[in-house]
Structure 1
Amino acid sequence: MLRLLCGGLALIGIGSGLFHTVAQSWAALADVGPIVLFILTYLFAINRDVVGLRPLAALGATALFLPYAAAVGAGFAQIPALGSSAAYGPVPVLILLYAAALRHRAPALARGFAIGAWLLILSLTARTLDMPLCRALPVGTHFLWHLLNAAMLGWMIEVYRRFCMAAPAPRNAA
């Protein structure tokens, strides 16, 4: 799962590079698609390996992200200042919810999730402020969105890796 997440992170970089280079509809899909797949892959891994759901149940719980994101994202969309960043709003909220739920059972993981959520909030702040600050800061802040987001995603992979390395090996059923 860790290799899949690392590959997903690479695809996010490639998709973002494509979109910022050619700015076509297909490139927008290449930008957003890997992000959604990364989120779903990560959620599946956490639901299966941390929460302890069987694979089919973990898949079902992961699928709930889509209606959750639509509902919570609609709420964030009501805040005009967020602009297109509102679509990402459900993600740090969900990470913080997982952190709160796991704080007693896996405190190091929960702390890592909280740090990741705050990195994402900082990243989204840079993304949201890019256009309003454009006249005063011609270089903008969009590059900070990318740098902080990459750091956050790498951090989330590392948090999961640390959990996996610290977890006892599963018993063989044979």
Structure 2
Amino acid sequence: MSIWQALNTPVDIYCERLDPSFWAEPLNALSNAAFPLVALLIWQMMRARGLISAMTAVLIGLCALIGLGSFLFHTFANRWSEWADTVPIWGFVGLYVYATLTTERGKSRRYKIIAATLISTATLAVLGLMATGETTDANATDPLNGTGQYAPALIALLVFAGASWRLHLPQTPWVLTAAATFLASLAFRTFDMAFCDSWPMGTHFMWHILNAAMIGFLLLARSVARPATSTR
């Protein structure tokens, strides 16, 4: 099989998709509009409060890019669009963790290098595992419907929420809300195929809407944690 053929291998793991056509998943595709909408809203809010920095701008840009990548995946539904969907998500996760660690622990150059190296290594490891173990068949017997790949992100968010609560940090309410929203979105993603008989359109579209909201909450948490005069 050539590389081009491999990249165009069809991916069918969602209830809504019944054929390989471009608009076979209209609800899954169009629900990705939530990401650029959230990105625009957060950008306007932060700019009005003087909270836009280079790091924040990149994170907001990744939020919008997640929506584009996911739209491509739920329309083209093949291997290359799967990567267009996956890479922005883990890019956001890795960069957000890095930004949080370096904000809370100071601006030591050595610390930033160590944090960036560890997070990059972990992110690449996750992407590597996904590349060798992802499901492309809707009839496969994965009980989690591929949701297990997001376990590292869930663990990181729960640790962040617990630490914020324990330390009484000002961003705690936003982080706890983000964690609860992510748990709900994971449930909708996991049970998508299970509801096909009773709900043919599936529940995966709620994964998009809730994840967009979750990212918004995390960006708001970052704005609360950082003073308006910061330039980092």
Is the structural similarity TM-score above 0.5? yes
Q: Distance in 1 between matches of 2:114 and 2:103?
A: 12
Q: Distance in 2 between matches of 1:109 and 1:51?
A: 15
Query: For 2:227, what is the secondary structure of its paired residue?
Result: helix
Q: Which has the larger radius of gyration?
A: 2
TM-score (normalised: structure 1): 0.81
Cα deviation for residue 99 of structure 1 reads 2.1
Find the partner of 1:60 among 90, 93, 117: 117
Amino acid at match of 1:15: G
1:94-113: CA deviation from partner (whole Å, max 9, x where unpaired): 11112222334452323322
User: Which structure would you say has the larger RCO, counting Cα contacts within 8 Å and 6 or more residues apart?
Assistant: 2
Query: For 2:143, what is the secondary structure of its paired residue?
Result: helix
Superposed counterparts of 1:24-43, under 5 Å: 24-43=78-97
TM-score (normalised: structure 2): 0.62
Superposed counterparts of 1:27-106, under 5 Å: 27-52=81-106, 54=108, 55-63=112-120, 65-66=122-123, 80-106=142-168
Q: Cα–Cα, structure 1 residues 92 and 114, in superposed 2: closer, same or farther, change >3 Å?
A: farther
Amino acid at match of 2:95: T
> Alpha carbon RMSD of aligned pairs, Å?
2.5
Q: Cα–Cα, structure 1 residues 116 and 35, in superposed 2: closer, same or farther, change >3 Å?
A: same
Cα deviation for residue 63 of structure 1 reads 3.4
Q: Distance in 2 between matches of 1:51 and 1:134?
A: 47
Amino acid at match of 2:116: L
1:76 matched to which residue of 2? none
**Ranges in structure 1 where 5+ consecutive residues have no aligned partner:** 74-79
